[in-house]
Chain A
């Protein structure tokens, strides 16, 4: 028991330290890529770190309409994100928390975070934030089945229900046999990734109109340390779902925590650049078209499941 604890606790804190250190750079890279494509200088890539530190130092303003729900929202989304990253294998070894079925918990923890972000938005009584919450509810509940079917495809290939096995070195062999199914799943996961992280073409974090945003409008009233927690949580979410995607496309062969972590970090930087390019070259979809886009991801993931089922 004590041997297990002495192994488990350092692994836990190492994982958190790595994620907390690396994740804020990713939105910075996205912004830099967008600026670069547009021919601008852009903020430095470490700007998100500065923003988070500065927000933690600021005071906060609360609306008189709000209750404790509004204050609990950021805490819960940050805690949920920190719990979810514990199920992501960073290096070539297992994640700190791993068991048969952890992929279900991984998917549902984001649900808890979303639920409380939406209630916190409704707590302000603002029509704009209600609108954002309503859109978030629709699009996330359409993205969820695609995520689960994609995970099912991977689980069937790996013969396991644990994220660490799904994203293990075995993927290299699976790519050589079942490349079509994995391609379908990867495409579906890109759509899910963009939706869950509120990126173009689903959501535009940079518009100047509250009316057109989804995630950003939900957190419109948060300020100070609460906003810092929200920003940090969304960077961690970017990291966690991005790591899922990167590890499928580029299975990490071996190596310890730090070597594997470095490879994963490079992959995530690549993903951030890709997101930046997508944001620079595409417009946001009309709201009525987004469900079709998500249905497309669902169908792709569904075909992935059929391919793996038929292969057996």
Chain B
């Protein structure tokens, strides 16, 4: 455990140093971060390999609270992506923050390091009070990170939405943990093991509380509204961390609580399945409609959280029907997707940050042809795009494959209703995959391919920006090419912790291993084919006459780069097809006459949940608040009266009890 504590210490130290120094101290903070992460990763790797947890207790003057940290396999599965991505983000930050105002740099480094420390403690805390405390610290420091650029009005709006939704979520968790702790008579997670004996009714209420509380952080639809606001507002390496790993702490919390609650009824799995489908499909649809690259990526986080929820739902359904094999595949897929999403989403946000760093623009309609100027950023972004679309031979495919197998098994062996639900999940996953691929061909094609659409200056990214991206892309490929080793190394011990009670000779585990070994062989053959045919083609091409020319323009003699297909036109079919959900607001000025002068077209899809759920809800709350405003009269005497009445009420309540 000591290396992990040193890791936390090094991260904190790096943050404090960063606060004091300016931009010259940035590499020092980053090296502290990397060193700390390596130490932490060593501990986590040992836990994942052996399955034996390590714990740390310390005395603490907090009522009901104890400073109890423990690193068990489930914590380690979440700790690995946190430490990997955050260390790389810290390195990225060195190059990314350099040009910023030095007043901002100190805050950015300090709060970023505190965010990482709080995330590490969240996934290892074993006491409910400690958990809630660091959960709150995590929410607050990320709020400060969102507000770094608080002179801009949209940033203040984003910060406000984030703060409100984070605390609505925490309110549910407060109730949940107070209730669970009251029932168990203790606030230590280890003492909560016997809560699984509680009746299904209470357990279900707890499940709902956890679903809303943790779901707000994770970004389940409709609680996702803060994501597309907050992620674009922070510096890109922080968006990578927030989107890649911070929202996963919600998933961690949900798994931790569900594992405590005992055998799940079938409707829990169904609920997660529905949430997963809605988040997945609506997330990717709204992503398609975005033109701001970081906002688009934020919506893709909603989609991927939906895929994780689908995996968890399949796992729960398998557990409740006693189909252990299906459950195993579902949970393994969900856990692996947590790691995979951290890798490729981190990579994509860093790519978006490099583009913004080089061109100063996040509007994809203004960009184009960047692959030639930024070869590393472009190529790694392509790998991330293919991975997030779930394409073999990359890592996104492996986790989606496991979730597919889970639902196929449910549909093959489950009762009629479950079979139908599983069929919906399979069709939904297929649709999500297709839509994600469409969205990323759009982003990659419009930003990096073709010709520049406007004359924005651009330059290759510095070394500190490209190295983290290259490492993340390499890990996407590694997990994709060696799925068997990745699943066994990263998730098997944690699957035991979820309560599947696996023994090494378990039938499900054997089938998981054998399927993944064969999948590995197929992927290997695909890779071999790719290499072989590339070589053959290169050999043939080298013996042929090659000429350079212009793109075939269908006989039109003066094409310009403005005439390329835009992102808006690329997705027009989708927007027409799904206008029921997207409800785009269009503004157009049609060309008039034989020699039209000016014409314009604009379309904008505001978030469905914000517009249809939260705006009306908060308006209603405000109306209500205005109606009882007569209580507030601004006279001290009245307030004293209120205090007196309250005191009297409390005392009489105590007296009559």
Give A contacts to B, CB under 8 Å. 12, 56-67, 69, 71-72, 74-76, 78-80, 82-83, 86-87, 97-102, 104-105, 107-109, 111-112, 114-115, 118-119, 122-131, 133-135, 137-138, 140-142, 144-145, 147-149, 152, 155-156, 159, 161, 210, 220-221, 224-226, 229, 287, 291, 298, 302, 305-306, 309-310, 312
Question: With an 8 A cutoff between CB atoms, is B276 at the interface?
Answer: no
Which residue of the partner chain B has the closest CB to A306? B420
Q: What are 20 contact pairs spanning A and B, CB under 8 A?
A: A62-B548, A75-B537, A99-B518, A99-B522, A100-B511, A102-B522, A108-B391, A111-B391, A112-B393, A115-B440, A119-B441, A123-B445, A125-B449, A126-B564, A127-B563, A127-B565, A138-B573, A141-B431, A141-B433, A145-B428
Are B529 and A79 interface neighbours, CB within 8 A? yes
Question: With an 8 A cutoff between CB atoms, is B430 at the interface?
Answer: yes
Are A105 and B401 interface neighbours, CB within 8 A? yes
Task: Known A101-B404, A101-B405; judge A76-B530 contact (CB<8 A).
Answer: yes
Query: Which chain B residues border A56 with CB–CB below 8 Å?
Result: 540
Are A221 and B552 interface neighbours, CB within 8 A? yes
Query: Which chain A residues border B321 with CB–CB below 8 Å?
Result: none
Task: Known A76-B530, A109-B526, A125-B369; judge A119-B514 contact (CB<8 A).
Answer: no
Question: With an 8 A cutoff between CB atoms, is B214 at the interface?
Answer: no
Interface range for B: 35 or more
Query: How far apart are the CA atoms of A68 and B32 in the complex, in Å?
Result: 38
Are A64 and B444 interface neighbours, CB within 8 A? no
Query: How far apart are the CA atoms of A62 and B437 in the complex, in Å?
Result: 26
Are B451 and A145 interface neighbours, CB within 8 A? no
B447 CB → nearest A CB, Å:
10
State which residues 408-452 of B face A: CB under 8 Å: 408-409, 411-412, 416, 419-420, 423, 426-431, 433-435, 437-438, 440-442, 444-446, 449-451
Query: Which chain B residues border A130 with CB–CB below 8 Å?
Result: 445, 564-565, 569-570
Query: Which chain B residues border A224 with CB–CB below 8 Å?
Result: 541, 544
Are A101 and B526 interface neighbours, CB within 8 A? no
Query: How far apart are the CA atoms of A114 and B382 in the complex, in Å?
Result: 14
Task: Known A62-B548, A119-B382, A133-B570; judge A104-B533 contact (CB<8 A).
Answer: no
Which residue of the partner chain B has the closest CB to A161? B408
- A144: contacting residue among B430, B451, B547, B549, CB under 8 A: B430
Query: How far apart are the CA atoms of A115 and B551 in the complex, in Å?
Result: 21
Query: How far apart are the CA atoms of A306 and B416 in the complex, in Å?
Result: 9
Query: Which chain B residues border A75 with CB–CB below 8 Å?
Result: 530, 533-534, 537
Are B518 and A115 interface neighbours, CB within 8 A? no
Are A67 and B449 interface neighbours, CB within 8 A? yes
Query: Which chain B residues border A82 with CB–CB below 8 Å?
Result: 529, 533
- A134: contacting residue among B372, B390, B573, CB under 8 A: B573
- B434: contacting residue among A105, A131, A133, A144, CB under 8 A: A144
Question: With an 8 A cutoff between CB atoms, is B37 at the interface?
Answer: no
Which residue of the partner chain B has the closest CB to A142? B434
B379 CB → nearest A CB, Å:
8
Are A63 and B386 interface neighbours, CB within 8 A? no
Are A61 and B547 interface neighbours, CB within 8 A? yes
Query: How far apart are the CA atoms of A47 and B151 in the complex, in Å?
Result: 68
Which residue of the partner chain B has the closest CB to A64? B548
Question: With an 8 A cutoff between CB atoms, is B574 at the interface?
Answer: yes
Which residue of the partner chain A has the closest CB to B418? A309
Task: Known A141-B438, A224-B544; judge A155-B529 contact (CB<8 A).
Answer: no
Are B390 and A108 interface neighbours, CB within 8 A? yes
Question: With an 8 A cutoff between CB atoms, is B178 at the interface?
Answer: no
Query: Which chain A residues border B368 with CB–CB below 8 Å?
Result: 125
Query: Which chain B residues border A152 with CB–CB below 8 Å?
Result: 408, 411, 423, 426
Contact with A along B549-573 (1 / 0, CB 8 A): 1111110000101011100011111
- B416: contacting residue among A119, A131, A298, A312, CB under 8 A: A312
Query: How far apart are the CA atoms of A125 and B408 in the complex, in Å?
Result: 41
Are A67 and B525 interface neighbours, CB within 8 A? no
Give B contacts to A, CB under 8 Å. 368-369, 371-372, 382, 386, 389-393, 397, 401, 404-405, 408-409, 411-412, 416, 419-420, 423, 426-431, 433-435, 437-438, 440-442, 444-446, 449-451, 511, 514-515, 518-519, 521-522, 525-526, 529-530, 533-534, 537, 540-541, 544-554, 559, 561, 563-565, 569-574, 577
Query: Which chain B residues border A79 with CB–CB below 8 Å?
Result: 526, 529-530, 533
Query: Which chain B residues border A140 with CB–CB below 8 Å?
Result: 434
Are B408 and A61 interface neighbours, CB within 8 A? no
Query: How far apart are the CA atoms of A109 and B437 in the complex, in Å?
Result: 13
Query: Which chain B residues border A148 with CB–CB below 8 Å?
Result: 426-427, 429-430
Query: How far apart are the CA atoms of A69 and B408 in the complex, in Å?
Result: 35
Are A59 and B389 interface neighbours, CB within 8 A? no
Apart from A101-B404, A112-B392, what 12 extra A-B contacts exist at CB < 8 Å?
A: A60-B547, A83-B522, A97-B522, A105-B519, A109-B526, A122-B446, A138-B574, A145-B431, A152-B408, A224-B541, A291-B577, A309-B416
Are B423 and A149 interface neighbours, CB within 8 A? yes
Task: Known A62-B546, A112-B392, A141-B435; judge A122-B565 contact (CB<8 A).
Answer: yes
Are B433 and A119 interface neighbours, CB within 8 A? no
Are A114 and B437 interface neighbours, CB within 8 A? yes
Are B522 and A221 interface neighbours, CB within 8 A? no
Query: How far apart are the CA atoms of A33 and B408 in the complex, in Å?
Result: 40
A65 CB → nearest B CB, Å:
5
Are A138 and B525 interface neighbours, CB within 8 A? no
Query: How far apart are the CA atoms of A287 and B519 in the complex, in Å?
Result: 38
Query: Which chain A residues border B429 with CB–CB below 8 Å?
Result: 148
Query: How far apart are the CA atoms of A239 and B404 in the complex, in Å?
Result: 25
A182 CB → nearest B CB, Å:
17
Are A64 and B549 interface neighbours, CB within 8 A? yes
Are A83 and B526 interface neighbours, CB within 8 A? yes
Which residue of the partner chain A has the closest CB to B452? A125
- B441: contacting residue among A62, A98, A122, CB under 8 A: A122
Query: Which chain B residues border A124 with CB–CB below 8 Å?
Result: 450, 551-552
Query: Which chain B residues border A221 with CB–CB below 8 Å?
Result: 551-552
Query: How far apart are the CA atoms of A302 and B546 in the complex, in Å?
Result: 50
Q: Which of A105, A128, A159 gathers most chain B CB within 10 Å?
A: A105
Q: Which 3 A-B pairs have the closest CB atoms?
A: A130-B565, A141-B434, A122-B445
Query: Which chain B residues border A126 with CB–CB below 8 Å?
Result: 551-553, 559, 564-565
Query: Which chain B residues border A64 with CB–CB below 8 Å?
Result: 548-550
Are A105 and B522 interface neighbours, CB within 8 A? yes
Query: Which chain A residues border B530 with CB–CB below 8 Å?
Result: 75-76, 79
Are A65 and B437 interface neighbours, CB within 8 A? no
Are B519 and A156 interface neighbours, CB within 8 A? no
- B445: contacting residue among A111, A131, A133, A220, CB under 8 A: A133
A255 CB → nearest B CB, Å:
25
Query: How far apart are the CA atoms of A82 and B522 in the complex, in Å?
Result: 11
Query: How far apart are the CA atoms of A114 and B430 in the complex, in Å?
Result: 14
Query: Which chain B residues border A310 with CB–CB below 8 Å?
Result: 416
